[in-house]
Chains A and B, each alone.
Chain A
Amino acid sequence: MKVSRRRFILSSALVGGGVLIGYSATRPSKHRLANNELAKGGEHYVTSFLKIDPDNQVTIYVPHAEMGQGVHTSLAMMAADEMDADWEKVSIEQAPATDLFANGDLIKGFAGEAGVPGFLMGLVNVSATKIAEIGNLQITGGSSSVRFTGDTAMRTAGAAARQMLIECAAQRWNVPAGECTAALSYVQHSDSGQSLTYGELASDAALLEPATEPDLKDRSQFNIMGKAISRNDIPAKVDGTAPYGLDYHSEDMLYAAIRMAPVFGSKLVSVDASAALSRRGVKRVVELEDSVAVVANSYWRAKEALKLVNAEFETSENDSISSADIAARFDAELASSNGSKDFEQGDTDDAIAGAADTIEASYRVPYLSHAPMEPMNCTVHFHDGKADLWTSTQDALGIRGRVAKIGGLDENDVTHHFSYVGGGFGRRLPFTWNVIDHATLIAKEFDVPVKTVLSREDDMQQDYYRPAVHSNFKAGFDSYGNIVAWHNRFTGPIQVAGAAFIPYDIENQSIRVVDGETHVPIAAWRSVDHSQQTFFTESFVDEIAHRTGINPYQFRMNLLQRHPRHRKVLQVAAEAAGYGQNLPEGHALGLAVQESFGSICAEVAEVSIGNDGQPIVHKVTAAIDCGWAVNPDTVEAQVESGIIFGLTAALYGEITIENGRVAQNNFPDYEMVRMADVPEIEVHIVESGEALGGLGEPATPPIAAAVTNGLYILTGQRVRNLPIRKHDFSKPASLAAI
């Protein structure tokens, strides 16, 4: 994606010295206006990513949520490096949730030039013309922070600052700017031996007009980017002081436990709360359209009292729906509909009709819950016509607007208070707002803070799920055994474009999507459609490879002639994993590769079957081409994380629907990979030097197919539906041909 960096760079003198430098895709007048409105206390506050104080401290404001992906540190590294700041003198803060820091504007800037980013399509199912309506977001998702905000806004703001500081020093010394250099928060003029700190220059620098297109560094000039820098959020996460949304506490606050309609979309009919109201600490029972909540002076008291509430919810046609019904509907849809075009090339029907041989397979994956470790929660305090808000979110600004809308306030009268996010994975993105809406309506009845908490069971049963998907494949070979046709029909909806596309050079392709709507609410789940589609496509490619008798690695390499980056990561991962070499007895290697969110990730899984007949994943070797690595340790951590998240889904993940509602309750029946299941993970970063790719998600998609492709080699058993634990490997089939 080629994007002009020409935006509006803003600078503003700080009261008391110093300078703020910002970057925006919107008009500066908006910020000047806001600056006037907000100029209170000691400082001006314009939309700004970095601030230089007279004492030479640099503060970098990051407009994204920190949920463990290391984005506060990575983005600060990008600005600090471009401005040649001394990293030891940099502090990092999350930008406040005000529209001055909306990154929807930034995204709109991209949308205007390069189309709507895919992840936003997934979030809101919008067209480019509707994107204006969602400008007021502060989204962290789509593996986008570093490659969008970081690579443009943060770097440009940093470079502009550096240029202004150098110009300012040159003027003061009456020397050409070209003779001055910047390093470690100083500007120096080596000929005269003079130097000044950024802090000493900041006030004067603020008076200069910032360059609109400052020069960015080449990678060879980086001092901070490309190094494994320790994350700034970690110290507070080892001593219990890191604040999460659930941690807001005040002496006078109240707590709400809530029971929502168990069948999605159903309404509350009647409530008998007399027993609950007599419990200790219970303040009120609040009835909402689709739920009932008990408000008490402790969450435990509220939760215990809620057990005594009898609530009747309306019946609906959804009450009898089960997972089997949904599966039957999906199959019927696939049988009867040709769907709508996802990708077409050549004449697939013709090619299959004339094929010397064909192969067919049907795949399916279940619904999945996000299950972040921090249960969903939201605290709202209505007072004096305003509201304060505490919740862990991937979109602080959007949440602020939502609370304002539901609570009947102006957006600017709602204050979102910073917290870290105890796991997002898509659950805390916009439009997955049930807990926010309920918490707001409950809190509106009180003048003290009310914290609404979903128990683990509530969260599992009231999520917005990764969609269940069925996907049918057919492929055709010519008389030489070459693959000439790829025919794929799957159930939608498509949440992110291109996930079902294949990189393989196959002449005729027909990829179409049929209706997969159900009453079960869905949302983005780490890597969105890629986690399902990569399991499907990389499994079926493996089936085709085995049919041709060419080993799955070589088969892929042969069909990736036009995708050198794919070839490279596959090669690196396969060689590092010892592909083609002797393995311990009873072990096999499976592999898969997928491009998503601008990065390409190959994974090789070494598997065996344990004495209990269940698969063991011994080791995963991954190679990722994310362009280049801003913080290599964070890259490795995100790849490890993505693999384990995907492995949990592959081995255990399944949400089933019974009587219209989710059958699972908590971790015992929605099991997680734990220490004993975790393979050794080896990560290789392949730096192609191409545009930055995302990292939060791209390691999740390949793992399921890598594992099941390995299991096929071991057992001859092709896993075509997940989770793997539902399959019985205790009776070994004959070994596959390869």
Chain B
Amino acid sequence: MAKFKVNGVEHELDIEPEMPLLWAIRDELGMTGTKFGCGIASCGACTVHVNGSAVRSCVLPVSAIEGQDITTIEGLAFAVNAADAGGINDKNAPDITAVQQAWIDHQVPQCGYCQSGMIMAVSSLLASNPNPSDADIDAGITNVCRCGSYPRVRKAIHSLASA
């Protein structure tokens, strides 16, 4: 049995301990916001948060996250806004986070497939480094976007830092 929380909900799954978290999320739980891109932790499309930090879930066996708190793109707003509200589920909290809003404001996504992972990675970066330099962004955001949304990702991050 694999036990872990996803977006605040406890799950107990009868799955192999070596099954990567990505496939537990997608195929076992049917939550499809987290994407499969490369399967070898190279592209970052599968990025989720484990206890608040960005992790590439496609190579992370569920045995490694036993009992931990997983946040996916579907739960990001709840996790962030709940944290801001002191852990209380504030019904007036916005449905999306400041990062997601910046993605809309800067019209960042194109095909959008990589953007769940991109947003999870950026949210994690900004949580630990609220005002990243370009070099910090280059080093911290290594996700692949085949459409080339990178210039807008960078602009959106800077807009959040200066906000």
Q: Which residues of B contact A373 (CB under 8 A)?
A: 35, 37, 43, 45, 111, 113-114, 144-147
Q: Which residues of B contact A300 (CB under 8 A)?
A: 19-20, 23, 27
> Assuming A237-B109, A240-B74, A640-B151, is B37 touching A375 (CB within 8 A)?
yes
**Is there an interface contact between A242 and B144, defined as CB atoms closer than 8 Å?**
no
**Is there an interface contact between A238 and B109, defined as CB atoms closer than 8 Å?**
yes
State whether the Cβ of B81 lies closer than 8 Å to any Cβ in chain A.
Answer: no
**Is there an interface contact between B111 and A675, defined as CB atoms closer than 8 Å?**
no
**Is there an interface contact between B38 and A666, defined as CB atoms closer than 8 Å?**
yes
State whether the Cβ of B73 lies closer than 8 Å to any Cβ in chain A.
Answer: yes
**Is there an interface contact between A675 and B154, defined as CB atoms closer than 8 Å?**
yes
**Is there an interface contact between B146 and A423, defined as CB atoms closer than 8 Å?**
yes
Scan residues 112-159 of chain B and give those whose CB is less than 8 A from a CB of chain A: 112-116, 119, 137-139, 141-154
CA distance A238 to B100 in the complex (A): 6
Interface size, A (range): 35 or more
1/0 contact trace for B1-35 toward A, CB 8 Å?
00000000000000010011001001110101111
CA distance A425 to B38 in the complex (A): 18
**Is there an interface contact between B104 and A234, defined as CB atoms closer than 8 Å?**
yes
**Is there an interface contact between A675 and B146, defined as CB atoms closer than 8 Å?**
no
State whether the Cβ of A233 lies closer than 8 Å to any Cβ in chain B.
Answer: yes
Closest to B75 in A: A240
Closest to A674 in B: B142
Determine how close the nearest CB of chain B comes to the CB of A252; give it in whole angstroms.
12
Task: Name the residue among A233, A235, A300, A680 with the largest chain B CB count within 10 angstroms.
Answer: A300
**Is there an interface contact between A372 and B104, defined as CB atoms closer than 8 Å?**
no
Q: Which residues of A contact B141 (CB under 8 A)?
A: 675
Closest to A372 in B: B146
Q: Which of A187-195, A262-270, A641-649 contacts B (4 or more CB under 8 A)?
A: A641-649
Closest to B32 in A: A247
Scan residues 40-61 of chain B and give those whose CB is less than 8 A from a CB of chain A: 40, 42-43, 45
Closest to B74 in A: A240
Determine how close the nearest CB of chain A comes to the CB of B120; give it in whole angstroms.
10
> Assuming A234-B107, A247-B32, A375-B37, is B148 touching A673 (CB within 8 A)?
yes
1/0 contact trace for A226-250 toward B, CB 8 Å?
0000110111111111111011010
**Is there an interface contact between A280 and B115, defined as CB atoms closer than 8 Å?**
no
Determine how close the nearest CB of chain A comes to the CB of B31; give it in whole angstroms.
8
**Is there an interface contact between A420 and B32, defined as CB atoms closer than 8 Å?**
no
Closest to B113 in A: A422
**Is there an interface contact between A676 and B100, defined as CB atoms closer than 8 Å?**
no
Task: Name the residue among B107, B141, B148 with the largest chain A CB count within 10 angstroms.
Answer: B148
Q: Which residues of A contact B152 (CB under 8 A)?
A: 637, 640
CA distance A588 to B110 in the complex (A): 31
Closest to A377 in B: B36
Q: Which residues of B contact A349 (CB under 8 A)?
A: none
State whether the Cβ of A667 lies closer than 8 Å to any Cβ in chain B.
Answer: yes
**Is there an interface contact between A239 and B110, defined as CB atoms closer than 8 Å?**
no
State whether the Cβ of B66 lies closer than 8 Å to any Cβ in chain A.
Answer: no
State whether the Cβ of A391 lies closer than 8 Å to any Cβ in chain B.
Answer: no
Determine how close the nearest CB of chain A comes to the CB of B114; give it in whole angstroms.
5
Q: Which residues of A contact B138 (CB under 8 A)?
A: 675-676
Scan residues 670-716 of chain A and give those whose CB is less than 8 A from a CB of chain B: 672-676, 678, 680-681
Determine how close the nearest CB of chain B comes to the CB of A526; give it in whole angstroms.
10
**Is there an interface contact between B36 and A375, defined as CB atoms closer than 8 Å?**
yes
Determine how close the nearest CB of chain B comes to the CB of A642; give it in whole angstroms.
8
State whether the Cβ of A584 lies closer than 8 Å to any Cβ in chain B.
Answer: no
Determine how close the nearest CB of chain B comes to the CB of A236; give it in whole angstroms.
8
Determine how close the nearest CB of chain A comes to the CB of B145; give it in whole angstroms.
7
State whether the Cβ of A185 lies closer than 8 Å to any Cβ in chain B.
Answer: no
**Is there an interface contact between B148 and A233, defined as CB atoms closer than 8 Å?**
no
**Is there an interface contact between B42 and A666, defined as CB atoms closer than 8 Å?**
yes
1/0 contact trace for B84-107 toward A, CB 8 Å?
000000000001100010011001
From the candidates A231, A236, A423, A643, name the one contacting B107 in the complex (CB within 8 A): A231
CA distance A243 to B30 in the complex (A): 13
Closest to B135 in A: A676
Q: Which residues of A contact B23 (CB under 8 A)?
A: 298-300
**Is there an interface contact between A239 and B144, defined as CB atoms closer than 8 Å?**
no
From the candidates A231, A371, A633, A674, name the one contacting B150 in the complex (CB within 8 A): A674
**Is there an interface contact between B104 and A230, defined as CB atoms closer than 8 Å?**
yes
**Is there an interface contact between B40 and A372, defined as CB atoms closer than 8 Å?**
no
CA distance A142 to B144 in the complex (A): 25
> Assuming A422-B113, A645-B146, is B73 touching A456 (CB within 8 A)?
no
**Is there an interface contact between B110 and A420, defined as CB atoms closer than 8 Å?**
no
Closest to A249 in B: B30
State whether the Cβ of B77 lies closer than 8 Å to any Cβ in chain A.
Answer: yes
**Is there an interface contact between A645 and B27, defined as CB atoms closer than 8 Å?**
no
Q: Which residues of B contact A681 (CB under 8 A)?
A: 151
CA distance A160 to B96 in the complex (A): 40
**Is there an interface contact between B43 and A667, defined as CB atoms closer than 8 Å?**
yes
From the candidates B39, B107, B154, name the one contacting A637 in the complex (CB within 8 A): B107
CA distance A300 to B60 in the complex (A): 13
State whether the Cβ of A96 lies closer than 8 Å to any Cβ in chain B.
Answer: no
Determine how close the nearest CB of chain B comes to the CB of A15; give it in whole angstroms.
35
> Assuming A239-B100, A645-B146, A645-B148, is B40 touching A456 (CB within 8 A)?
yes
Determine how close the nearest CB of chain B comes to the CB of A154; give it in whole angstroms.
21
Task: Name the residue among B34, B40, B119 with the largest chain A CB count within 10 angstroms.
Answer: B40
Q: Which residues of B contact A244 (CB under 8 A)?
A: 32, 35, 113
Q: Which residues of B contact A70 (CB under 8 A)?
A: 110
1/0 contact trace for A207-235 toward B, CB 8 Å?
00000000000000000000000110111
Closest to A303 in B: B39
1/0 contact trace for A527-547 toward B, CB 8 Å?
000000000000000000000
**Is there an interface contact between B36 and A238, defined as CB atoms closer than 8 Å?**
no
From the candidates B116, B147, B154, name the one contacting A423 in the complex (CB within 8 A): B147
CA distance A694 to B108 in the complex (A): 21
Determine how close the nearest CB of chain B comes to the CB of A248; give it in whole angstroms.
8
**Is there an interface contact between B109 and A68, defined as CB atoms closer than 8 Å?**
yes
From the candidates A68, A642, A644, A680, name the one contacting B112 in the complex (CB within 8 A): A68
Q: Which residues of B contact A421 (CB under 8 A)?
A: 111
CA distance A642 to B28 in the complex (A): 37
Closest to A672 in B: B144
**Is there an interface contact between B104 and A235, defined as CB atoms closer than 8 Å?**
yes
Closest to B102 in A: A238
Q: Which residues of A contact B149 (CB under 8 A)?
A: 637, 640-641
Q: Which residues of A contact B33 (CB under 8 A)?
A: 239-241
> Assuming A298-B28, A374-B35, A375-B36, is B115 touching A238 (CB within 8 A)?
yes
CA distance A371 to B141 in the complex (A): 20
Determine how close the nearest CB of chain A comes to the CB of B99; give it in whole angstroms.
8
State whether the Cβ of A198 lies closer than 8 Å to any Cβ in chain B.
Answer: no
State whether the Cβ of A330 lies closer than 8 Å to any Cβ in chain B.
Answer: no
Q: Which residues of A contact B42 (CB under 8 A)?
A: 666-668
CB<8 Å pairs between A and B, sample of 21: A68-B111, A238-B96, A239-B100, A240-B74, A241-B74, A246-B32, A255-B27, A298-B19, A300-B23, A300-B27, A373-B146, A375-B36, A633-B107, A637-B110, A667-B40, A668-B40, A672-B146, A675-B150, A675-B154, A676-B139, A678-B151
> Which 5 pairs, one residue from A and one from B, show the smallest C-beta to C-beta distance?
A240-B33, A644-B148, A68-B110, A237-B112, A422-B113
Q: A249-B30, A422-B35, A673-B150 are in contact. List 11 more A-B contacts (CB 8 A).
A: A234-B103, A238-B104, A371-B146, A373-B147, A374-B113, A423-B146, A633-B107, A640-B151, A641-B147, A644-B148, A667-B40
